[in-house]
Amino acid sequence: MDAWREVRARRSFQGQLPVSAFSRLGEVVASTEGDVTYTLDFGRDDFGIAYVAVRAQAALTVICQRSLEPFQLPVEVDARLGLIVEESEEASLPPGYEALLVEEDGKLDPVATIEDELLLALPLVPVNPDYELPDDVNGPGEDDMPSQEKSENPFAALRGLIK
């Protein structure tokens, strides 16, 4: 796809792809079942910055790092990528833009662009919010702890040295 032509035409693409179409994403998820719904909007903002807005939603199967069980993690991407030809142009992008380096010929792989944003949206350590550790792992709660009448000060022994 020619990004510069799509920007000039202010084109919009939307659709659905199977998770299995994203090879790098497939390496970090527990299952490649399911679909990714996406929208790509190309255009120029009021400052003349060429951009592609990437929106994607998917329920990805990942491994919970607490239970080590797979669970469905809803992932949502909403990013505006400023199209640049040279890395030095990144500093001129307005706040809220991420840089996307594009060759002068405008060659852009839409699947790779969506995949990059999904990978960035994944948490480093996925944890199922519905999972609770068993009591024997959690240890005794605060209510179960014997209360100490007087807490010991670890620096009490040093008091005699200071005069």
Give every residue of the chain whose pLDDT is below 50, as ranges: none
Q: What pLDDT, on a 0 to 100 scale, did the predictor assign at position 127?
A: 84
Percentage of residues of the chain with pLDDT beyond 70: 81
Q: Is the dihedral of CA 83, 35, 39, 79 positive or negative?
A: negative
pLDDT single digits (tens) 50-87? 999 999 999 999 999 888 999 999 999 999 999 999 99
Q: What pLDDT, on a 0 to 100 scale, did the predictor assign at position 43?
A: 96
- Decide if 59 contacts 72 (C-beta within 8 A): yes
- Decide if 49 contacts 76 (C-beta within 8 A): no
pLDDT single digits (tens) 81-96? 999 999 999 998 999 9
Q: Is 160 left (phi over 0), alpha (psi -120 to 50) or beta?
A: alpha
Residues 6+ apart with CB under 8 A from 109: 1
**CA-angle at 37, arms to 128 and 59, nearest 5°:** 15
